[in-house]
Structure 1
Amino acid sequence: MKTLFPNAKESLVAGVVLLSNIYSSLGKHEEAKTFRSNQIEELGVK
């Protein structure tokens, strides 16, 4: 995602959190955790 939208870091982080919350609401907590941590790491956000 970072290479597709290099100047939209804040929006991408919000999207990652939103999608992660959707996974969690479906009961896929481990997938949500893995997705969120991988994407946040890729974006370089602490």
Structure 2
Amino acid sequence: QSPCVQKGIPRRNSPKPLTQKQKIAPRGNRTPGSPTLLDGNGEFYH
């Protein structure tokens, strides 16, 4: 928490990108080796 404040990055903006990543990962089987992942909704993520 402290290092984030020292960098000047508000804690408000930090959870937002992390939340988006967490939402995408569980919904579709995300594998580091695959450039394209299939989401549960049938949408492809690059």
More helix by share: 1
Q: Which has the higher contact order (CA 8 A, sep 6+)?
A: 1
Name which one, 1 or 2, has greater alpha-carbon Rg.
Answer: 2
**Bigger strand share:** 2
Q: Same fold (TM over 0.5)?
A: no
State the TM-score, normalizing by the size of structure 2: 0.39
Q: Tell me the TM-score normalized by structure 1.
A: 0.39
